[in-house]
Structure 1
């Protein structure tokens, strides 16, 4: 049996702390912004909210107390499936996040509820839930619900675009759940639109954080001065590039096309180099979702031309 080092233990503790923080943020988003505005979040959070509204009609209990229990109960079958089909590490972290969210939902005081405009609740609630999902995701965990389903499907069917499947599932839960709540609470149809905005904001915040604020940029540089530009790329960015032979259909002139990936903060630096070396160069810049490379790709270089 391999020996567990203190460094590994500290890393694991740190991951559980971050996943727990994700659970706290998720609970605050629901308790402070979503529930007071009678919004329906996507996934199992929204489903637990709908069922809690139904239970309030037949039980002598508050919505918040039912919600904290319902959120955990609905996740139990999924957590069991996660334990069977996925790695134990992911499942235990997800259980931890779910337990933390349920406890925080149960203990938060009434003073934590936001009573302002629904639009503000949608914006801040969406930002918080996006942060919650990202923190859990970055530490190999989740806040349960449809995220577990997506993880299982992705493991056995990697060809399926899980993000779209989860988005559709959240859309169905949000719209149908909002309609049920409208009939129960006599709220305005506005809550459907506000709930959808909440889900979209949360998803966009998660996507933005996943890509990062320094997401890679792909440069396609068609130039006759490829040697000079290539030399500067190697010198200032400490990385290689790919060269293709190309020919213009209009003038028939043969040139070279350089393909290189740089960090976002290096974008303007490389544009400066291209303008300096070849003002007539034809350049296309594209966003890149991710790069699989050696760790040195993300190293910063501060040398100036």
Structure 2
């Protein structure tokens, strides 16, 4: 079975490593020295570092290990491979950065101009995570919790991620200055915008229209692997006069690469249209209160 059939390639693994390397650089050179924060499991690792001086390279990995087990049981091996690879890669780069700083090979960027530091930190985080997401990886943690909440309880993925980030950043008020929490929010905003840009647009979702002779197999795989709802409708080729079922599905920006690889692994000749979606309401996305 080829690497593409397995759902990932050497190119993906390489760029996930590049992305986690950039993200680790931003954390150790910009965010930690200036006592800024992050959300999710990375934010918990930073809190442990500020409170007990524990290295994030270890805590990031240790916190994720039980989450790997949960994800493996709920979503299967195939779905978790790139997540585990991304998380281990991040921990490895964090360790290398910590080792380099401790040996004075590189120097942290400490500056009284917090606006400039915030800008650089947001760009580094956004570029790093954007590359990771662009090539189908994640850095584990909150993503696994959110997907588990959706699968088991039907909770909105976006709201679970937001709640986790809010709790982690809120808890930092006991360890860092209030002013730096406000700067952290700027970092998170800048990073989110850059992630959107790298993920081929400033929108939170993409709509896939897939025309293929294997529409049933494709729709079943999308439903099982990505757990997204689908719509099937009949189409007719103007030239061939041939009737085919088309598949319509909306996915989050983090799933664009996985969706494309999944479709091509089933039907390399599938015709795929990817459209920007300005706003999405419903299960798995934002749910509007009535």
- Give yes or no for TM over 0.5: yes
Match of 1:33 in 2: 30
Is the partner of 1:54 in helix, strand or coil? Answer: helix
The offset of 1:298, in angstroms, is 6.3
Between the aligned partners of 1:90 and 1:9, the Cα distance in structure 2 is 10
The offset of 1:152, in angstroms, is 2.6
Which consecutive unaligned segments of at least 5 residues does structure 2 have? 207-237, 239-255, 261-269, 276-290
58, 61, 77: which one aligns with 1:69? 58
Is the partner of 1:134 in helix, strand or coil? Answer: helix
The offset of 1:6, in angstroms, is 6.8
The offset of 1:208, in angstroms, is 3.6
Match of 1:272 in 2: none
Match of 2:86 in 1: 97
Higher RCO, 1 vs 2 (CA within 8 Å, ≥6 residues apart): 2
119, 127, 130: which one aligns with 1:123? 119
Asked if residue 145 in structure 1 is aligned to residue 104 in structure 2, the reply is no
Q: TM-score, normalised by structure 2?
A: 0.62
Contact 1:53–1:181 (CA under 8 A) maintained in structure 2: yes
Is the partner of 1:106 in helix, strand or coil? Answer: helix
Alignment of 1:55-204 (within 5 A): 55-56=52-53, 66-108=55-97, 109-110=100-101, 111-116=106-111, 117-156=113-152, 160-177=155-172, 179-182=173-176, 188-204=177-193
Between the aligned partners of 1:125 and 1:38, the Cα distance in structure 2 is 11
Is the partner of 2:43 in helix, strand or coil? Answer: helix
CA shift digits 1:245-300 (9 cap, x unpaired): xxxxxxxxxxxxxxxxxxxxxxxxxxxxxxxxxxxxxxxxxxxxx9x9x746469x
Q: CA RMSD in A?
A: 3.4
How many residue pairs were aligned? 210
Asked if residue 20 in structure 1 is aligned to residue 17 in structure 2, the reply is yes
Match of 2:198 in 1: 209
Contact 2:131–2:198 (CA under 8 A) maintained in structure 1: no
Higher alpha-carbon Rg: 1
Is the partner of 2:63 in helix, strand or coil? Answer: helix
Contact 1:31–1:112 (CA under 8 A) maintained in structure 2: no
Contact 2:146–2:161 (CA under 8 A) maintained in structure 1: yes
The offset of 1:194, in angstroms, is 1.0
Is the partner of 2:137 in helix, strand or coil? Answer: coil
The offset of 1:156, in angstroms, is 4.6
The offset of 1:96, in angstroms, is 1.5
Q: TM-score, normalised by structure 1?
A: 0.59
Which consecutive unaligned segments of at least 5 residues does structure 1 have? 57-62, 183-187, 217-239, 241-289, 300-305
